[in-house]
Amino acid sequence: MSVHNADISRIFEEIADLLEIGDANPFRVRAYRRAARVIGELQLDVAAAVHHGETLPKLPGIGDDLSGKLHEIARTGHCALLDRLRKQAPATITDLLAIPGLGPRRVRTLYRELDVQTMEQLHRAARDGRIHTLHGFGEKTELNVLRAVESRLSKAHRCKLTVAAQYAKAYVEYLRSAPGIGRVVLAGSMRRMRDTVGDIDILVTSEASSDVTERFVHYGEVRQVLSHGPTRASVTLHCGLQVDLRVVRAESYGAALHYFTGSRAHNIAMRALAQQQGLKLNEYGVFRNARRVAGETEESVYAAVGLPFIPPELREDHGEIEAARGGYLPQLVRITDIKGDLHSHTRWSDGYDSVEAMALAAKARGYEYLAITDHSRRLTAAHGLDPERLRRQLDEIARNTTPGITLLKGIEVDILEDGALDLPDSVLQQLDIVIAAVHSRFNLSRARQTERILRALEHPLVTMLAHPTGRLIESREPYDVDMLQILRKASARGRFLELNAHPERLDLSDTYCHMAKDEGVLVSVNSDAHGVSQFDNLQYGIGQARRGWLARKDVLNTRNCAQLRALIGAPRRRTAP
């Protein structure tokens, strides 16, 4: 069975959870959490490198002990330490950590005081009013837990796009190596770049003699075969993801790819449009009576009903068909349009690499500029910069002589509860870019949270609002804000909003990206890279931007360096005190 980076990261994270629940040394807990984060965000396939005898690069925070466990997991898929820890705690107790607000300490209290071990037991304890009596909880916490558990129990499990991609790409490569295989492509919500994925859809064209479904169900990571026929099959992997396979003839490839890409609402609208023209559209082609008139390519499917090709990211029945008919579909932004990255971190705060290493990596990707934006002092967990340390970093940036790239001096400054900024104006005035961010008090009321952000956007030295809703996919809901007010304030003050491409965030949502476009607010698609490999996050941010209908002109960092400087400097000149 293959071992993916997501598997290694998940094992390290579970070790950290069980250690903390068991009241282990906090430094040891943090070491495993850091290792989980580093491996989870690493682009290098660790297990493949170990399997081929390659020497792994020096990974931040991973010493000899953790490196040994990393190799153990990469070779076997298991960790002896985790097995021992699991025997000391109920098997399901770490599931409770998925509930917002329940960290390991609170889970430990629930287990010791109320013998809560499962999600169902947690639901009953909250419903019966037994949680708010515990030290460190309270009635509001109990109500939030009840709502979160009910929401989670009612939803089908979905997986983050980037995690699903690791399993999907490996499966696709496995299928491509079989004889008689033509095309092997991913469809469904992965192709539409949804931020979470319910299952993986794979489409294959194959010769009639090729038994591709037999190969599919005998993949090494298959836990259970749900169905198996000559042209379709469905399995569940050991990681819990369901994978569905469909095999079609080459002449039906375009129609099948359109059908299995979805969304369901888009497909229904397309079939209705075809019916209005006396056509039948299904996964085998477009037909007029019994005669096939299109279906070999997706372009032919759309052309048959009088439409230009609609990019997969737009296929949600959110007006894309009307836009295509009216000739105003946007030419969506592409990753090759990006000229630089305006949000990155270094070792000065919670990053893994030096200023120079980040500059070289950005240059290698063809960027014209890179903004160094480490955290400000309030974020102590990230070793944020106070004014003196920031001045020293600015000196280092000024001394950097990496040719062919411009380093912009910046900061990711905390927005305090009252909307003030975490650093004084005398320091912020020295910077090229000031990214304001909410990192605390996520539970403020809608009115107070909105006012807090509006006040920050009024500040004459603020350039951009970072990860504007504060969500962490599958672990923290977005805080409640009036996004229309925020966008209109940004428009009035010449501020920009970030689309944070970090796979845990993908914030702005596609809906808010579309709103920003409508309000004339430029969006900056930033990697939020904490190390050189994380510039690759940008591909997911671009997918989200495309889902939000953003064209090249709607994205701030598609401008060259001179154009960018003019844009980010103009609001300061116009609103300077």
**Same domain? 488 vs 540:** yes
Q: How far apart are CA 214 and CA 230, in angstroms?
A: 8
396 shares a domain with 283: no
For residue 254, tell me if it sits in a domain. no
Whether 109 and 214 map to the same domain: the answer is no
Out of 328, 343, 371, pick the residue that ends a domain.
328
In a domain, 115, yes or no: yes
391 lies in some domain: yes
Residues 431 and 569 grouped into a single domain: yes
Distance CA 13, CA 347 (A): 22
Q: Are strands 242-248 and 280-282 parallel, antiparallel or unpaired?
A: unpaired
Q: Say what the pTM is.
A: 0.83
pLDDT of residue 462: 97
pLDDT recorded at residue 570: 59
Q: Is 158 exposed, middle or buried (0-12, 13-18, 19+ CB in 10 A)?
A: middle
What is the rounded CA–CA span in Å between residue 92 and residue 81? 17
Residue ending a domain, among 328, 359, 376, is 328
The enclosing domain of 72 has a CATH number of 1.10.150.110
> At 292, which CATH number?
3.30.210.10
Whole-angstrom distance, CA of residue 436 vs CA of residue 160: 26
User: What backbone torsions phi and psi does residue 206 show, to the nearest 5 degrees?
Assistant: -150, 150
In this structure, how many other beta carbons lie within 10 angstroms of the beta carbon of residue 108? 16
Closest CA to 282 of 250, 252, 313, 315: 252
Residues 6+ apart with CB under 8 A from 107: 21, 93, 94, 96, 97
How high is the mean pLDDT in each 10-residue block of the chain (577 residues)?
85 90 88 90 86 84 88 90 84 78 86 84 87 87 86 73 92 89 94 94 83 92 92 91 93 96 93 95 94 96 97 95 94 98 96 94 96 93 91 95 94 96 95 96 93 97 97 87 95 97 93 95 97 93 97 98 90 49
Domain match, 350 and 273 both: no
Q: Does 257 reside within a domain?
A: no
Query: In terms of domains, do 195 and 89 share one?
Result: no
Show the domain range for 170.
Answer: 156-248
CATH number assigned to the domain comprising residue 233: 3.30.460.10
Q: Report how many domains make up the chain.
A: 4
Q: Are residues 308 and 405 in the same domain?
A: no
- pLDDT given at position 236: 93
571 falls within a domain: yes
For residue 511, which amino acid is it? T
Same domain, 130 and 229: no
Same domain, 339 and 309: no
Whether 237 is covered by a domain: the verdict is yes
207/234 same-domain check: yes
Query: Which of 281, 296, 328 marks a domain boundary?
Result: 328
Q: What is the pLDDT of residue 572?
A: 56
Q: Are residues 217 and 350 in the same domain?
A: no
How far apart CA 121 and CA 104 sit, in angstroms, is 17
How far from chain centre, in Å, is Cα 499? 11
292 within domain boundaries: yes
In a domain, 256, yes or no: no
- Pick from 454, 384, 452, 392: nearest CA to 423: 384
Shared domain for 179 and 54, answered yes or no, is: no
